[in-house]
Structure 1
């Protein structure tokens, strides 16, 4: 009988080929675009350029995904949660 391990890192998010879903989608768009370019302008130089481009993009995206905390500038939750209406003038009390 097969054993399955419990996936405990669910809060880290789904990963495909070591990339989060958004970066994986960007990678697949690049692959599809390069395939269209190869189909409509067939040549050895075009094929090699597309392979190098997609390989370099994959390496860059995996490095960005590993350092994802560097790009996180905003906080998830606000400092204060209140039902009070926001007033720009600040001289009228509710």
Structure 2
């Protein structure tokens, strides 16, 4: 009789080449665009610069995957601005 292991990592995101699906799709769009540029250009400098761009893009997307707080702009500003000094006055009034 066959036994099956329980898959416990159901909440982990799917990754391809170390990138989440959305970032991998962005990388593939860049690669396809780069291939179009390489096909229609006959310059070695353009080919090398496009390849370097794709390598740098992959490294940047890898860093964003490892440290997602790099693009977290939500916590930059508070929801409300209050000029009251923090203290125990509100706590003392309620109790």
Q: Does TM, normalized by the shorter one, top 0.5?
A: yes
What is the TM-score normalised by the length of structure 2? Answer: 0.64
Hey, which of these two has a bigger chunk of helix by percent? 2
User: Which structure would you say has the larger RCO, counting Cα contacts within 8 Å and 6 or more residues apart?
Assistant: 1
Can you give the 5+ residue segments of structure 2 that lack an aligned partner in the other structure?
76-95
Runs of 4+ in 1 over 3 A off after TM superposition: 4-8
CA distance in 1: counterparts of 2:9 and 2:26, whole angstroms: 23
Q: Give the greater-gyration-radius structure (CA).
A: 2
Can you give the 5+ residue segments of structure 1 that lack an aligned partner in the other structure?
75-94
What is the TM-score normalised by the length of structure 1? Answer: 0.65
Tell me how large the CA RMSD over aligned residues is. Answer: 2.2
